[in-house]
Amino acid sequence: MHEVGAPDPKTGKPDYEAMPMIGHDNTSERYVAHWIDVFGGRWSETLGYGKRSGDEIDLVFEYPDGPFHTDFIWNTKAGTWRWHMTQKGADGTWHDFADMMLVKESG
């Protein structure tokens, strides 16, 4: 997967870019995600771990500033993935971070 954010109006370059690497570890029977992005090594050293349940893969990253959930939900009919992210706030409650639809790039 290659994530590229919307272009900055001033520079024309994206504010965010990431190359997440997601795979399945057969020994531990869980998914492992390594999120490499423009925020540098401190954030990229945290691995996400998760399980699949039906058409959903739920990953948890234990970042230095708190836990972060990344869920991928497959929609068989549409052939798309819903990408839903939530973050635990300082007050202990979970908040939506982003909710996107992933589609295959044509070309």
Task: Give residue-wise pLDDT tens across range 67-95.
Answer: 999 999 999 999 999 999 999 998 999 99
Residue 16 falls in which region: left (phi positive, over 0), alpha (psi -120 to 50) or beta:
beta
Q: What is the pTM of this model?
A: 0.83
How would residue 26 be classed by pLDDT, with cut points 50, 70 and 90?
Answer: very high
Domain count across the chain: 1
Give residue 26's domain range.
3-102
- Edge to edge, the sheet with strand 66-75 lists 3-4, 17-25, 30-37, 47-53, 56-63, 66-75, 80-88, 94-102
Q: Is 15 in contact with 6 (CB distance < 8 Å)?
A: yes
Residue 11 counted as domain residue? yes
Residue 107 counted as domain residue? no
Cα 52 from Cα 29, distance rounded (Å): 9
